[in-house]
């Protein structure tokens, strides 16, 4: 399962989520400027869906959408419709929680 958060003109508060014991997960969002073309940040919805679908299973990522390259709400709906079935779209709280779970699952035992 690949989990993504679609952030339109927003970022996660504080850049991540604080967990028990002061654990922090910070996100470096994948910027998506829209479909005007010309660079890796300017893909159409189908190309962005294919990129996200090719990420390894268990990947937790965020997308930061900007309008300066043509990004708009219709483009987000097109992206969600084009995502492969193994990709799940969640809100910021769920994304941070999943990232914390993954971090704790891969942390070495004390």
Over the stretch 74-110, which tens digit does the pLDDT of each residue have? Answer: 888 999 999 998 888 888 788 778 777 877 777 676 5
Alpha carbon distance 13, 79 (integer Å): 24
Over the stretch 24-36, which tens digit does the pLDDT of each residue have? Answer: 556 677 888 878 7
Q: Work out the pLDDT band at 43, boundaries 50, 70, 90.
A: confident
3-state secondary structure the chain: CEEEEEEECCCCHHHEEECHHHCEEECCCEEECCCCCCCCCCCCHHHHHHHHHCCCCCCEEEEEECCCCCCCHHHHHHHHHHCCCCEEEECHHHHHHHHHHHHHHHCCCC
């Amino acid at each position: 399962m690949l989990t993504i958060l679609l952030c339109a003109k927003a970022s996660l508060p504080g850049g991540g989520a604080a967990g028990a014991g002061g654990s922090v997960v910070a996100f470096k969002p994948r910027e998506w400027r829209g479909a005007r073309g010309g660079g890796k940040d300017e893909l159409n919805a189908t190309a962005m869906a294919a990129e996200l679908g090719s990420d390894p299973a268990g990947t937790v990522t965020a997308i930061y959408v900007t309008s300066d390259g043509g990004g708009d709400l219709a483009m987000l709906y097109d992206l969600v419709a084009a995502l492969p079935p193994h990709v799940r779209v969640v809100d910021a709280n769920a994304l941070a929680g999943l990232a914390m779970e993954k971090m704790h699952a891969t942390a070495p035992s004390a």
